[in-house]
Amino acid sequence: MLAYVLRRLLLIIPTLFGILLINFVITQAAPGGPVEQAIAKLQGLDNSSSRVTGTENGDMSSPSQPNNGDNSSGYRGAQGLDPELIKDLERQYGFDKSASERFWLMVRNYLQFDFGNSFFRDASVIELIKEKLPVSISLGLWSTLIVYFISIPLGIKKAIRHGSRFDVATSSLIIVGYAIPGFLFAILLIVLFAGGSYWQLFPMQGLVSENFAQLSTVDKLLDYAHHMVLPTVCLTIGGFATLTMLTKNSFLDEIHKQYVVTARAKGLTDKQILYGHVFRNAMLIIIAGFPAALLGVFFTGSFLIEVIFNLDGLGLLSFESVINRDYPVIFGTLYIFTLVGLLLRIISDLTYMFVDPRIDFNSRG
């Protein structure tokens, strides 16, 4: 057991390195880096189209694509600007060094958990994550709990009543829910229940009310829950299908195995068979999804849902960082999310062995 855990922990290092390297190369190849963004702002050319594409009407390019004109800086759109100003911008964003130097410097700092400061926000990467994390935890925690508390019992009941009207009706409902895009369902809920055209039952935006600080503890909890209803429903509506059908198929497969027939022949009741024998074996495949679920609890970021309900979370932060080429935020969040995901994968394997001691990962070739 200990040898397996140590081996998996050591494998995290090359995995993280490979992920960072691949994303660094892709990011460097994309046009419209932070220097170009700063030049566009100096020239007064920054607009929505340049933010989306990273270019300004085809007028900007990366330093690797130098202009054939008389601009010696290598940045299109820098005509008329003092070359020393361009060099200052390069030093400010670290582009006075080669790509390989920047990468190794980033890796060295990340090994010390030093993620630097955002290029375009007056805050460190860690501070930005801490600031946005409560929104993402709120969305991820409640949506994950709701999905698991409903989908697993529903999947077990569907397996027991396979082929019945209940099974067909619930399958139809969850498939329809899975087919509805979350952002489209969010607009529908706002129109119906947030004062869009019909009832004003729920607030339309924000995580809490403006007078939240003046409320009592009970009123704060109620206010928070009141604001979380609509965005949580939008995130969970499409999550039932996968887990419910996975649970159903897993239990259905176990129910038809020979050991269940043998248990019935010994006189055990259906409840004893289900929860004494089938449950442990069938839940193994459900446990495989726990790491993704736990990661979603802390780092769920649905950009469209956050925009629609005016929730400033990690989804919106990640999107804006990519658009603005805010490299410290992009790679800092990538490093943290990947590291947490790899650690949770190890925890998942240990949970496998806890649920079923017969599983031994050390014996795998």
| DSSP calls for 261-300 | HHHHHTT--HHHHIIIIIHHHHHHHHHTTHHHHHHHHHH-
Q: DSSP label at 194?
A: B
Query: Is residue 60 in a domain?
Result: yes
In this structure, how many other beta carbons lie within 10 angstroms of the beta carbon of residue 234?
A: 27
What pLDDT score was predicted for residue 196?
64
In this structure, how many other beta carbons lie within 10 angstroms of the beta carbon of residue 280?
A: 12
> For residue 69, what pLDDT band results from cuts at 50, 70 and 90?
very low
Beta strands in the chain (DSSP E): none
> For residue 21, what pLDDT band results from cuts at 50, 70 and 90?
very high
First vs last Cα of the chain: how many Å apart?
Answer: 15
Residue 301 and residue 154 share a domain: yes
Percent over 70 (pLDDT), the chain: 81
Query: Residues 263-283: what's their mean pLDDT?
Result: 84
What pLDDT score was predicted for residue 58?
39
> For residue 74, what pLDDT band results from cuts at 50, 70 and 90?
low
> For residue 239, what pLDDT band results from cuts at 50, 70 and 90?
confident
Query: Is residue 82 in a domain?
Result: yes
- Give the pLDDT confidence of 95-126 residue by residue, as tens digits: 778 888 889 998 998 988 888 888 888 889 99
Q: What angle do CA 231, 232, 237 make, to 5 degrees?
A: 105
Residue 157 and residue 90 share a domain: no
Query: Is residue 119 in a domain?
Result: no
CATH code (residue 297)? 1.10.3720.10
Query: Is residue 334 in a domain?
Result: yes
Tokens 């999107």, located at residue? 319
Percent over 90 (pLDDT), the chain: 8
Residue 187 and residue 313 share a domain: yes
What pLDDT score was predicted for residue 242?
83
Query: Is residue 173 in a domain?
Result: yes
Mean of the per-residue pLDDT values of the chain? 79
What pLDDT score was predicted for residue 67?
43
Q: Provide the number of structural domains found in the chain.
A: 2
Residue 201 and residue 169 share a domain: yes
Structural domain range at position 99? 31-114
Q: Which of 29, 21, 18, 38 is nearest to 326 (CA)?
A: 38
Instruction: Write 279-284 long-range contacts (CB < 8 A, 24+).
Output: 280/355, 280/356, 281/254, 281/356, 282/247, 282/250, 282/251, 282/253, 282/254, 283/250, 283/355, 284/250, 284/352, 284/355, 284/356
> For residue 284, what pLDDT band results from cuts at 50, 70 and 90?
confident
Q: Rounded distance, CA 36 to CA 55, Å?
A: 8
Q: Rounded distance, CA 83 to CA 25, Å?
A: 27
Query: Residues 30-34: what's their mean pLDDT?
Result: 73
Domain final residue pick, 82, 114, 146: 114
Domain final residue pick, 114, 135, 159: 114
Query: Residues 51-56: what's their mean pLDDT?
Result: 40
Residue 131 and residue 37 share a domain: no
Type of residue found at 74: G
> For residue 298, what pLDDT band results from cuts at 50, 70 and 90?
low
Residue 222 and residue 284 share a domain: yes
Q: Say if CB 16 and CB 339 are below 8 A apart.
A: yes
Radius of gyration of the chain (CA): 26
Residue 280 and residue 333 share a domain: yes
Indicate the pTM of the whole model: 0.71
Tokens (6 digits) for 212: 């939240």
Query: Residues 139-164: what's their mean pLDDT?
Result: 88
In this structure, how many other beta carbons lie within 10 angstroms of the beta carbon of residue 318?
A: 20
